Amino acid sequence: MRLARLALLCALAGALALPNSAGAVPIRADRAFVPGEVIVRFDGDTSASERAKVRSGQRASVEERLLVEDTQVLDLPDGTGALEASRELESQPGVRYAEPNWLAQPQALPNDPLYPSLWAMERIGAPAAWDVSTGSPGTRIAVLDSGLARRHQDLGPNEWQNTGEVAANGLDDDGNGVIDDRFGYDFANGDSDPTDDDGHGSHVAGTIGARGNNGYGVAGVNWQAQLMTLKVCGFAGCPASAQAQGIAYAGRMGARVANMSLGGTGLSTAVRDALNAAPNTLFVVSAGNGGADGVGDDVDASPVYPCAFGQANVICVAASTRSDARAGFSNYGLSTVDLAAPGVEINSTRAETYPVSESFESPTSFASRWITGGIGNDWGLEAYPGAGFTGTQLSDSPAGLCADDPGACYTNNMNAFARHLPRSTEDKDNCLLVYDYAGGHATGDSVSVELSPDGASWTTLRTHTGSLSRRTEAIVLGPSWWGRPGVHLRFRVQTDGAGVGGGGLIDNVTLRCESYVNPFGQLAGTSMASPHVAGVAGLLFSQRPSASVADVRAALLETTDPVAGFAGATVTGGRLSAARALARFAAAPPLPVPPPVAMPLLLPLDAPSEPPEVVQDPPPPPPLGSLAPPTASGPLSLARAFRQILAGFSARDLSARPRLAFRYRSRVRGVVAAQLLGPRGRGGQRPLLGRGAGRFTRPATRAVALRLTRQGIAHFGAGRRRGLVVRVTFRPVRGKTRTATVRVRLR
C-alpha cells in the first residue's frame, strides 16, 4: 500500500537542491503530506486493545511500526482526509499525538584531478584542516537522503556496512529491528536497497566523504569515513515517517554525524521525537531554498523543519556564494539558522544521467523532439493545468501538458501515438522511466506506454484505462534496455467505436539512467551547503572520538569566519571555517559537558509555560513613550515582561505603537528571539504579528526591539485582540535551546 500511495505523488520533493548543470531534473515539492496516512504516538501505558480500539474508530490499519517508541504509521480508508483524521485521533484517550505524514521537501592537497574545481574547499580552509586530519575509517556519518550510487569509485570505498547483518537472507541478524540492512536501508520504500534513484544523495555524500587522494575524481571533506546510507526520500518526497526512521536508525547504529539536506513546512512531532531520542548524534540540516519565487525566506517567521526545531543536537545551514554573499535562494534566520557554508556551483559525485527530460513547456522543443501520427491523431500540447487533479498544485508546468485530445474529448476508433526521437543508453544502466499521468477514458479505450529498440517492434510497459487523478508513475527498465545506441519511447492512445472521454494528460517525462562515464556534476542549494558542515563535524569527531555533540557543535559555531552578508541573518553571523575549527580542537582540551536543562525543547503554542493564574483587570495604559524597557534574564522572564506590557494596551493603542523595546541579560553567547503570534487560522498556523531578536557575542545586557509586522499593524488596527500568545526562544552557541510561551491579553 505504501508503494502504491507514494506512486501517486510527484517526483522527489523534499531535497533542497537547485540543479545548474545541463540535463538535470528539478526537484519539486508538490504535496504537503502523504495522502491517506497519519503518524500516531500512543502513551506508553496504552494497552494493545485500547490502541486497536482507537484505530478501529477511524477504520485505520497499521501501515508501519516506527523505531520511535510507541509510534505507528496508520493507513486510512480511501477518501479519509489526513488532517481531519489526525485531529480526531489526537482527541482519543491514550494518544499522545497524531499528525499527517508530513513531506519534507527533497545541504595537504589531494591528488584528485577534479580538486581544482572544488572552490568551496579552499574557501572553508579545508587544506589547513587536512594538515590536522583527513578523516577516519572509524567515523560513521549518516546521509539521510535519496540514497547512494554504491558503485561510484569515489563513494564505494567509503560506504558503511553493517557487519552484524547478512545481506538478503530475510532475517534481522543483529536484532536492531531492521531486516537485511547490510548496506543501510531504504526507509522511503521499505526495502534493503538504498541505491540512489535521483542523484541528490550521491552528490551530498560526495561532499561529505568522497574518497580523497586516490587519483580519481573529487575529494570530500573527509577523505576516509564510513558513509551510512539511509534513504528517506523517494519519488513522493521525504515522508516524515521515513525521516523519523532514518534518524532513529542513525542514532541506534552509532552515527556521530547525520546530514539531512531536506526540509518542509510541516511540523512533525515524530521527527522531533526522533531527534530528541538521538542526543549523541549531531544532525546537520539545510535551511531551505525559499518558496516558489526562488527567493530565500526568514525561517524565524516562516518555519522550515527540521531547521526550526532548534534542538541542541541540530545545526542548520544557509548557503553562501563564491564572494561570501548569501545565495539569493537561501533561507536565513537570526534565531534558527546557525551558520553559512558554500552552496553554489558545488561539484561532487553524480551517477545519474537523463537521456530524456521533457516538461512540454516549449512548442518549439516539442516539435523538434517528438513525432505524432497514426489513425485519428490529435496529439499535441494543451494548456489545461488542473484537469483531473485534486488537492495538489503543480506549478512546474502551468503553460502546457502533453495530451491526446487538445481542447476536446477524443474521437472513436483512434490508434495514434506521440513518439520521442531515439535516445542512446550506451554506457548506461539501471534505467528508470518516470512521468506524471492523469486520464479519463471510456470503457475499451486506453493510453499505453511503449518502448522499442528500433522504432518498429514495440513493447508495452504500462496501460492506463478508466479515470485516474494525476499521479507519478515509475517504471524500472530491465537490462535489455541498457547499453543500446537508440531507445524509442512513445505514448499510444487506442479507442473503440463506442463512447469517448476526456482523454489522457502526460507531463514531466524523464528517462533516468546511471552512468559512470565522468560521474560528476554541479548542483546549487542549501542542500549542498550543509554537507560541508557535516563533513567538518566528521573531521572533528575523527580527531577526537571521545568528543561530545556539544563539543563539536560549539567548535563549529564559535570558529566561523565573520561575513557581512550573514550579520543579523544567522546565529553566528559567519561562514564555516574548517581550518579554525580543527585548529581549536587540536589546541583545546575536551570541554566539560553541561548538565541537562530540565525544560522542553519546544512548548505547544496553546499551552502556557506556567500554572494558570488569576488575571487582574489591566491598569490604564501609560502614555506612549513613557514605558521604561523591562530587563529579563531568561525566556520565561521575558515572556512575562511582554505580557505585563501588552496588558496595558488596547488593540488600537498597539497598532499606533508598532515598536516595543525590552532589555535582555545573557551570560553566554547566543540569540534571543521573541514572536507575537495571533489566533490559529484554518490550517492550524498562527500568523506572525510581531517579532524581535538580538545576538549576543559576549555576556551582556542589551536592548532589543520587537516590531509589529504589516500583518500585525493591520490586525490590531482592526481592533482584534483575542487568541494572542508570545513565544520567546534563547538559542545559545553551546547548550540547549530554551523556549517559553505565554498567553497574552490586551486591554
DSSP assignment of 54-96: HHHHTT-EEEEE-SSTTEEEEEPPTT--HHHHHHHHHTSTTEE
Among 340-354, 589-603, 643-657, the least confident range = 589-603
Q: Does domain 115-350+520-587 have CATH number 3.40.50.200?
A: yes
Distances (CA, A) of 86 to 45, 73, 100, 162, 368: 20, 11, 6, 36, 49
- DSSP single-letter state for residue 234: B
The share of the chain scoring above pLDDT 90, in percent, equals 54
**CB of 650 closer than 8 Å to CB of 746:** yes
Among 16-30, 123-137, 424-438, the least confident range = 16-30
Domain range list for the chain? 30-104, 115-350+520-587, 356-511, 631-744
Q: Cell digits for 491? A: 505514448
Q: What are phi and psi of 51, to 5 degrees?
A: -65, -40
Contacts of 566 (CB under 8 A, 6+ apart): 318, 320, 326, 332, 339, 340, 572, 573, 574, 575
User: Could you give the dihedral angle defined by the CA atoms of residues 307, 311, 315 and 317, in that order, rounded to the nearest 10 degrees?
Assistant: 20
Q: What kind and span of H or E run contains 178? A: none
- Can you tell me the distance from the alpha carbon of 199 to that of 11, in angstroms, rounded to the nearest whole number? 13
Strands 339-342 and 520-524: unpaired
Distances (CA, A) of 196 to 9, 145, 179, 413: 18, 9, 19, 42
Tell me: the pLDDT tens digits for 366-377?
A: 889 999 899 988
Domain boundaries 631-744, CATH class: mainly beta
What residue type is 549 in one-letter code? V
Nearest CA-CA partner of 256 in 159, 138, 83: 138
Give residue 589's pLDDT: 55
Q: Cell digits for 118? A: 572544488
**CB of 214 closer than 8 Å to CB of 534:** no
- Can you tell me the distance from the alpha carbon of 668 to that of 594, in angstroms, rounded to the nearest whole number? 13
Tell me: the pLDDT tens digits for 599-634?
A: 222 222 222 233 322 233 333 333 333 334 445 556
User: Could you give the dihedral angle defined by the CA atoms of residues 324, 325, 327 and 333, in that order, rounded to the nearest 10 degrees?
Assistant: 100
Confidence of residue 543 (pLDDT cuts 50, 70, 90): very high
Confidence of residue 253 (pLDDT cuts 50, 70, 90): very high
- Can you tell me the distance from the alpha carbon of 220 to that of 348, in angstroms, rounded to the nearest whole number? 8
Angle at 186 between CA 183 and CA 188, to 5 degrees: 170
Tell me: the pLDDT tens digits for 696-711?
A: 766 777 666 677 777 7
Contacts of 315 (CB under 8 A, 6+ apart): 282, 283, 284, 285, 338, 339, 533, 537, 553, 556, 557
Average the pLDDT over 227-241 and give the result.
Answer: 91
Confidence of residue 651 (pLDDT cuts 50, 70, 90): confident
- Mean pLDDT over the full length of the chain: 82
Q: What would you measure as the largest C-alpha separation in the chain, in angstroms?
A: 87
Catalytic residue positions, numbered: 145, 200, 365
pLDDT at residue 584 greater than cutoff 60: yes
Give residue 721's pLDDT: 80
Give residue 545's pLDDT: 93
Give residue 504's pLDDT: 79
**CB of 184 closer than 8 Å to CB of 156:** no
Strands 724-732 and 670-677: antiparallel
Nearest CA-CA partner of 729 in 698, 691, 697: 691
Q: What kind and span of H or E run contains 489? A: strand 487-494
Among 331-335, 434-438, 636-640, the least confident range = 636-640
Contacts of 60 (CB under 8 A, 6+ apart): 38, 74, 75, 76, 77, 85
Confidence of residue 394 (pLDDT cuts 50, 70, 90): very low
- Can you tell me the distance from the alpha carbon of 391 to that of 399, in angstroms, rounded to the nearest whole number? 19
Strands 700-708 and 446-452: unpaired
Average the pLDDT over 561-570 and give the result.
Answer: 92
Distances (CA, A) of 438 to 273, 447, 469, 471: 37, 10, 5, 7
Give residue 331's pLDDT: 96
Strands 257-260 and 135-145: parallel
Angle of helix 526-543 relative to helix 578-587, nearest 10 degrees? 20
**CB of 656 closer than 8 Å to CB of 649:** no
Domain boundaries 30-104, CATH class: alpha beta
The share of the chain scoring above pLDDT 70, in percent, equals 82
Which numeric CATH code is attached to 356-511?
2.60.120.200
User: Could you give the dihedral angle defined by the CA atoms of residues 52, 57, 63 and 64, in that order, rounded to the nearest 10 degrees?
Assistant: -50
Q: What is the distance of C-alpha 275 from the center of its chain?
A: 14
Contacts of 261 (CB under 8 A, 6+ apart): 15, 16, 17, 106, 107, 145, 200, 204, 285, 286, 525, 526, 527, 528, 530, 531
Asked whether the domain spanning 356-511 has the same topology as the one spanning 30-104, the reply is no
pLDDT at residue 392 greater than cutoff 50: no
Q: Cell digits for 184? A: 543501510
**CB of 544 closer than 8 Å to CB of 555:** no
Q: What are phi and psi of 740, to 5 degrees?
A: -135, 140
Does residue 274 sit in helix, strand or coil? helix
- DSSP single-letter state for residue 630: P
- Can you tell me the distance from the alpha carbon of 309 to that of 433, in angstroms, rounded to the nearest whole number? 37
**CB of 535 closer than 8 Å to CB of 142:** no
Tell me: the pLDDT tens digits for 16-68?
A: 555 433 322 222 333 478 888 999 999 999 999 999 999 999 999 999 999 99
Confidence of residue 14 (pLDDT cuts 50, 70, 90): very low
- Can you tell me the distance from the alpha carbon of 37 to that of 634, in angstroms, rounded to the nearest whole number? 40
Q: What are phi and psi of 121, to 5 degrees?
A: -65, -40
CB atoms within 10 A of CB 620: 7
Ramachandran region of residue 354, left (φ > 0), alpha (ψ -120 to 50) or beta?
Answer: beta
Tell me: the pLDDT tens digits for 468-479?
A: 777 888 899 999
Burial letters for 681-717: b for 16+ Cβ neighbours within 10 Å, e otherwise? eeeeebebbbbbbbbbeeeeeeebebebbeebbebbe
- Can you tell me the distance from the alpha carbon of 671 to that of 102, in angstroms, rounded to the nearest whole number? 29
Does residue 294 sit in helix, strand or coil? coil
Give residue 404's pLDDT: 55
Angle at 666 between CA 660 and CA 670, to 5 degrees: 90
Nearest CA-CA partner of 212 in 203, 204, 198, 224: 224
Average the pLDDT over 569-598 and give the result.
Answer: 73
Distances (CA, A) of 510 to 152, 475, 485, 514: 22, 11, 18, 13
